[in-house]
Amino acid sequence: MKKLFSKEFLTRNETLVGVVIIAFCILASFADANFMSIPTLTDLMRGGIVLGIFAVAAMLVLVSGGIDVSFTAVAVFAMYTTTLFLINYAPDMPWYFAFAISIIIGAGLGAINGVFIAWFGLPTLIVTLGTLSIYRGFVLTFVGSKLISNLPPDMRGFSRLMMVRGTNADGSFYSLPWAFAALVGVVVLTWFILQRTMLGRAIFAIGGSVESARRIGINVRAVQFFIYIYVGALSGLAGIIHASMSRVANPFDLVGLELSVIAAVVLGGARLIGGHGTLTGTILGVSLIILVRNSLIVIGIPSTWQSVAIGALILLGTGLPAWQAKRAAARAA
What average pLDDT does this structure show over 134-145?
92
4 pLDDT more than 60: no
Which pLDDT score is estimated for 317? Answer: 67
pLDDT digits (tens, 9 = 90+) for 285-302: 999 888 887 777 666 667
Is the Cβ–Cβ distance between 148 and 87 less than 8 Å? yes
Asked whether 206 and 222 are in contact (CB, 8 A), the reply is no
pLDDT at 263 over 90: no
φ/ψ (deg, to 5) at 256: 110, -10
Residue 167's alpha-carbon distances to 34, 48, 76, 174, 301, in angstroms, are 14, 22, 34, 6, 29
| Rounded Cα gap, residues 143 and 84, in angstroms | 8
> What residues contact 97, with CB distance under 8 A and at least 6 apart?
none
Q: Of 227, 235, 186, 251, which Cα lies nearest the Cα of 75?
A: 235
SS3 for 27-80 is HHHHHCCCCCCHHHHHHHHHHCHHHHHHHHHHHHHHHCCCCCCCHHHHHHHHHH
Left (φ > 0), alpha (ψ -120 to 50) or beta: where does 93 sit?
Answer: beta
Instruction: Say which amino acid occupies 272.
Output: L
The rounded Cα 93 to chain-centroid distance in angstroms is 27
Q: Give the distance between the most distant pair of CA atoms in the chain.
A: 67
Residues 55 and 261: beta-carbon distance below 8 Å? yes
Query: Does residue 196 register a pLDDT over 90?
Result: yes
Contact, 199 vs 226, CB < 8 A? Answer: yes
Distances (CA, A) of 165 to 39, 183, 234, 287: 10, 18, 27, 21
Q: What pLDDT, on a 0 to 100 scale, did the predictor assign at position 127? A: 97
Give the percent of the chain with pLDDT over 90. Answer: 56
Higher pLDDT pick, 309 / 186: 186
Per-residue pLDDT of 23-74, as tens digits, reads 888 877 887 777 777 888 888 899 899 999 999 999 999 999 999 999 999 9
Angstrom distance (rounded) from CA 179 to CA 239: 12
Taking only Cα atoms into account, the Rg of the chain, rounded to an integer number of angstroms, comes to 21
Q: Is 173 helix (H, G, I), strand (E, B) or coil?
A: strand
Q: Tens digit of pLDDT for each residue in 230-261?
A: 999 999 999 999 999 999 999 998 988 888 89
Residue 177, helix vs strand vs coil: strand
Range picked from 40-44, 208-212, 263-267 for highest mean pLDDT: 208-212
